Amino acid sequence: MKVTTLKNWSRRDFIKTTSALAVAHSALASAQKPGKQHVYAGTYTTAVDGGANGEGIYLFQMDTHCGELSNRRLVAKTPSPSWIVIHPSKKYLYAINEVNTFSGGTGSVSAFAIDPSSGDLTALNTVSSEGAGPAHMSLDAEGRYAFVANYVGGCIAVLPILAGGLLAPAVDLHRDSLSLGAKHATDAPIGSFAISGHDAPHAHMISPDAKNKFVLATDLAQDRIYVYRFDSTIGKLTATEKIPFTSLPSGDGPRHFAFHPNGHWLYSLQEEASTIVFFHYNPENGEMTGVQTISTLPSGFAGTNFTSEIVVSPDGKFLYNANRLHDTISIFAIGANGRLTLLGETSTLGDYPRHCTIDPSGNFLYACNQKSDNITSFRIHRETGLLTFTGQYTAVGSPAILTFTA
């Protein structure tokens, strides 16, 4: 057996070996280095309000010090994963597939196992969302059920999560076809042509409250936020007896909502009116009381805008929303009484921001610019709430959502 000693090594052998060790050490450090975390982006593979330049779910590594997203990799080829959520255990990822080509013309929901070291995804299974064109999903606090809002199908569904992260077929389904709102939004800006969504029921968002006791769901076309009592033992939703829903002005189109960290304040974003309505929320009975309505657009704005996403900062001091066509992030201060004050807006420096989100530390905000195929990032000034562009454009085709593992 030949034994190679240092004395027999050439300069080339030394350089080659040390280079290999450096690469291996760098790869290991990259996977384990503090200040890094995995981030997933869902993209459109079929055209919905824009291009179809994505291929599925992408993985990025986020630098928590500067907000940079790097090392983009396609980790799951799955059709139009336009909303993705991480299981509380951090072991599983769930994605809706915003299509109408699954089992009998419905959309679907796909489950994946997460490799904690590499971030790679392994497909577990896919089940029907029980309605066409799912647009949003969330999980209950215990990670036992997935809630899905089917926009095109106009219904909501509850899917059990089994041992090992697998999804089971829906155990509950609600479809409400009551009266539709007006074609033109009551509170729309002057000259607005935002009249796209009041042709049929359109469930747009569904999410439990902080206590996991009630589940709220918006229907954009009915201009309502439904409130259901949630039975976590069997996954059933029951309409609350006294006030089963809260109505928004006709045609305004409630899209998404966000709870304040205190669990008592709720902010509803209207897609076609470009407004935010602040509600007092009672976590004991699910009742909502409207307090304030405020525009997401600057004073004097005239024309068309579609709002998309709303998010409250982790410290509860500020609220942000994304405006499509106006292509901005509106910035609001949250007062001691929960009321909003518009501080201004910042350009997303991209086209048609489908989604915006804040990283878990509360230091960075990201905008998914669907039509310009990029994600832009902004540093949040923690005292003022204002945004500063980091200078970083992250290329990805038709981004729909960005989700953090932390």
Class of domain 88-400: mainly beta
**Could you report the per-residue pLDDT of 196-235, keeping only the tens digit for each?**
789 999 999 999 999 999 999 999 999 999 999 999 999 9
Per-residue pLDDT, 178 = 75
Which stretch of DSSP H or E encloses residue 353? strand 353-358
- Is residue 150 a contact partner of residue 129, using CB atoms and an 8 Å limit? yes
Give the sheet arrangement for strand 374-380, strand by strand.
353-358, 364-369, 374-380, 387-395
pLDDT for 34: 66
235: left (phi over 0), alpha (psi -120 to 50) or beta: left
Starting at the edge strand found earlier in the chain, the sheet holding 306-312 runs 306-312, 318-324, 328-334, 340-347
CB within 8 Å of 331: residues ≥ 6 apart: 318, 319, 320, 342, 343, 344, 345, 346, 385, 386, 387
- The single-letter code of the amino acid at 86 is I
Token code pair at residue 14:
């030394």
Among 43, 31, 78, 38, which Cα is nearest to 59's? Answer: 38
If phi > 0 it is left, if psi is from -120 to 50 it is alpha, else beta; for residue 371 that is: alpha
- Confidence grade of residue 280 (pLDDT, cut at 50, 70, 90): very high
pLDDT digits (tens, 9 = 90+) for 144-177: 999 999 999 999 999 999 999 999 999 999 998 7
Does residue 103 or residue 248 have the better pLDDT?
248
For residues 268 and 258, give the distance between their C-alpha atoms in angstroms, rounded to a whole number: 7
Asked if pLDDT for residue 29 goes beyond 60, the answer is: no
- Measure the CA–CA gap between 256 and 185, rounded to whole angstroms: 16
Percent of the chain predicted with pLDDT > 70 = 92
Task: List Cβ neighbours of 55 (8 Å cut-off, separation of 6 or more).
Answer: 43, 45, 74, 77, 397
Distances in Å between the alpha carbon of 272 and those of 132, 190, 254, 306? 22, 12, 8, 6
DSSP 28: H
25 pLDDT band, cuts 50/70/90, is very low
DSSP 18: H
Separation between Cα atoms, residue 184 and residue 7, nearest integer Å? 84
Which token pair is 247? 């109505």
Dihedrals φ, ψ of 87, to 5°? -65, 145
**Among 251, 139, 113, CA closest to 206:** 139
